[in-house]
Amino acid sequence: MDQWQQGETIDLAITDLSSSGDGLGRWQERVVFVPDTVPGDTVRARLVQAKPTFGRAKVRQLLSPSPDRVRAACIVADKCGGCQWQSVRYPAQLVAKQQQVTDALTRIGGFEAPTVLPILAADAPLGYRNKATYPLGRSPEGQVKAGYFRQGSHKLVNLNQCPVQDERLNPMLAEVKRDIQDRGWSIYNETKHQGRLRHLALRIGRRTGQQLLTLVSTAPNLKDIELQAQEWRDRYPELVGVCVNLNPDKTNAIFGAETLAIDGVPYIEEIFAGLRFYIHATTFFQVNTEQAEQILQIIVDELQLSGSETLIDAYCGVGTLTLPLAQKAKRCLGLEVQPEAVAQGLANAGLNGIDNVEFRAGDVGELLPLAAASLADAVDIVVLDPPRKGCDRTVLDALIELHPPRIVYMSCDPATLARDLKVLREEGGYTLAKAQPADFFPQTPHVECVAFLVA
């Protein structure tokens, strides 16, 4: 291969999309990552990083556009780090996500020709998010800004609407920024650790239409917050609550531990899988309600529960999967590290009159063997829905020791899914029956997947 160096200009044919969202091309047997490109593009690009086997480049000129290149729905899509694939035709996004799952299972998991079912496409590739959390900032002129950070930076791209969030939230964004400006509330500066407001969080029940507005602040003493909260509730008929979440720490975490209800209630009610759920400002709940329901139905269809099964739902959150599955099983036990989520899960069970379910709070790796030992019946199924980092090794060891006949593993990261499935196959003797990808996050490179394992 010829030598190459940073600053060099090269012509590339973009052939694939990476899991990071960048387009992929190949130049003299080296892989080159190029942001803001679409498979089928031919580009002239400048190398910004030149390693022996790969490089990174920025587009200087679009020589020939791909037939899968479309006009982005958002006017700041090329600047905002929220959505990377708005210029990619939706069917091409699905192809890339399907390939992500297959590649991860084969290359990381070591599975030969795994059964990966066709990806479950979203009916609504835009306007699907039931939650939006916007960092706050100020322009050089002192105007309040809310938006997302430019990819790879802490430069805030100001937004007045967002095409992937539920359109019913759009009117609030510009108006709430104006109100914050008029109130004179200070905006948090993370470098100096000064100021009050850090984030604006909006949440909506897709089925109920109920809305919740939460300000994340370093302190509760926002002048006239009660008056402003009442104004917002008067202005927005579907706004059932205004909250302030307290996060005084030097941290990248969005929310702090305490949330104060300023006006109304600190939660929305939503209908999911025919059940009613209380969802608070900080509650984890899938951002794509419709896709989450569809993947739940796939799990139900695959398990074919008879009403005699004992099931453990690890990383159960507020019972999004636990409660619908409990309706069809003999007994369900939900395990969750966050006590607040467990309390909400219990409340949701009571709200729906489901009495064959129990929730326990604590580390899943520690709870799983204790919970299994405490149950009168053998555990038939374990459902896993861990965070992006996947399962801790203690959880995998506990699963291998417990050895339930069936495991359902739901994941938002194909790489950590494949890593964990490899352990369960090699050390636990499990077989991967099938994997079902689902597009929960259109316009982004993220893909959800549920894997079905049998002992």
Domain boundaries, the chain: 9-64, 97-123+288-454, 131-272
Confirm whether pTM is higher than 0.85: yes
pLDDT digits (tens, 9 = 90+) for 9-21: 999 999 999 988 8
Looking at residue 295, what is its pLDDT?
96
Q: Is 412 a residue of the active site?
A: yes
pLDDT digits (tens, 9 = 90+) for 221-249: 899 999 999 999 999 999 999 999 999 99
* CATH number for the segment(s) 97-123+288-454: 3.40.50.150
Of the CATH numbers 2.40.50.1070, 3.30.450.20, 2.40.128.120, 3.30.450.40, which one belongs to the domain with range 131-272? 2.40.50.1070
Looking at residue 336, what is its pLDDT?
94
Question: What mean pLDDT, rounded, does the chain reach?
Answer: 93
Q: Per-residue pLDDT for 25 more than 90?
A: yes
Looking at residue 229, what is its pLDDT?
97
Give me the catalytic one of 80, 243, 316, 412. Answer: 412
Looking at residue 76, what is its pLDDT?
83
Q: Which tokens hold the place of 437?
A: 């990808």
Mean pLDDT of all residues in 251-260: 92
Q: What is the 3-state secondary structure (H, E, C) of the chain?
A: CCCCCCCCEEEEEEEEECCCCCEEEEECCEEEEECCCCCCCEEEEEEEEECCCEEEEEEEEEEECCCCECCCCCCCCCCECCCCCCCECHHHHHHHHHHHHHHHHHHHCCCCCCCECCCECCCCCCCCECEEEEEEEECCCCCEEEEEEECCCCCEEECCCCCCECHHHHHHHHHHHHHHHHHCCCECECCCCECCEEEEEEEECCCCCCEEEEEEECCCCCCCHHHHHHHHHHHCCCEEEEEEEECCCCCCCCCCCEEEEEEECCEEEEEECCEEEEEECCCCCCCCHHHHHHHHHHHHHHHCCCCCCEEEEECCCCCCCHHHHHCCCCEEEEEECCHHHHHHHHHHHHHCCCCCEEEEECCHHHHHHHHHHHCCCCCCEEEECCCCCCCCHHHHHHHHHHCCCEEEEEECCHHHHHHHHHHHHHCCCCEEEEEEEECCCCCCCCCEEEEEEEC
Amino acid at site 158: N
Looking at residue 371, what is its pLDDT?
81
Higher pLDDT, 80 or 89: 89
pLDDT digits (tens, 9 = 90+) for 323-374: 999 999 999 999 999 999 999 999 999 999 999 999 999 999 999 988 877 8
Looking at residue 372, what is its pLDDT?
75
pLDDT digits (tens, 9 = 90+) for 85-130: 999 999 999 999 999 999 999 999 999 999 999 999 999 999 999 9
pLDDT digits (tens, 9 = 90+) for 391-405: 999 999 999 999 999
Looking at residue 251, what is its pLDDT?
87
* CATH number for the segment(s) 9-64: 2.40.50.140
Q: Give the integer Cα–Cα distance in Å for 360 and 367.
A: 8
Q: Per-residue pLDDT for 1 more than 70?
A: no
Question: Do the domains spanning 9-64 and 97-123+288-454 agree at the CATH topology level?
Answer: no
